[in-house]
């Protein structure tokens, strides 16, 4: 004899990696931002004046990339509580670019274009 309890229901748990909107809008854009920063860094001549900013930008771009990859493992219900590290990494990347721009390591135009991309995430 089988009984069906009306309270029993299937709950679908999806990771963010399976969410097309998150993958296409947040993950891919953030990945492009990291790639753009590494591309920009490939054109910076490393000397005593630029070395600190070069290393800082490189570290922050890698941290952003790692953070967005880790976010793919989150379940959709966890987003509200656990997406903060990604938001923080985006803000840190923006700040690092602003510092590099102030030190004239990268141009203001480059900083503005990457900042605009960060704002769309």
Closest by Cα among 65, 58, 20 to 40: 58
Q: Is the CA virtual torsion 81, 82, 85, 90 positive or negative? A: negative
Residue 64 within a domain: yes
Domain limits for position 39: 16-120
Residue 98 within a domain: yes
Residue 6 within a domain: no
pLDDT at 52: 96
Residue 2 within a domain: no
Q: Is 43 helix (H, G, I), strand (E, B) or coil?
A: coil
Cα–Cα distance, 113 to 93 (Å, whole number): 13
Number of folded domains that form the chain: 1
CATH number of the domain at 67, please. 1.20.1440
Q: pLDDT tens per residue, the chain (121 residues)? A: 555 566 666 667 789 888 899 999 999 999 999 999 999 999 999 999 999 999 999 999 999 999 999 999 999 998 888 999 999 999 999 999 999 999 999 999 999 999 999 999 8
Cβ atoms 14, 76 nearer than 8 A:
yes
pLDDT at 7: 65
Cα–Cα distance, 58 to 111 (Å, whole number): 15
Residue 1 within a domain: no
């Amino acid at each position: 004899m089988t009984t069906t309890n009306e309270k029993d229901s299937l709950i679908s748990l999806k990771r963010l990696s399976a969410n097309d909107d998150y993958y296409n809008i947040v993950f891919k854009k953030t990945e492009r931002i990291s790639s753009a920063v590494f591309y920009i860094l490939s054109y910076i001549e490393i000397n005593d004046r630029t070395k600190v900013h070069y290393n800082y930008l490189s570290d922050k771009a890698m941290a952003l990339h790692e953070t967005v990859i880790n976010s793919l493992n989150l379940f959709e219900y966890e987003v509200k509580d656990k997406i903060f590290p990604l938001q923080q990494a985006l803000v840190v990347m923006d700040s690092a670019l602003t510092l590099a721009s102030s030190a004239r390591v990268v141009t203001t135009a480059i900083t503005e274009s990457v900042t605009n991309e960060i704002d769309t995430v």
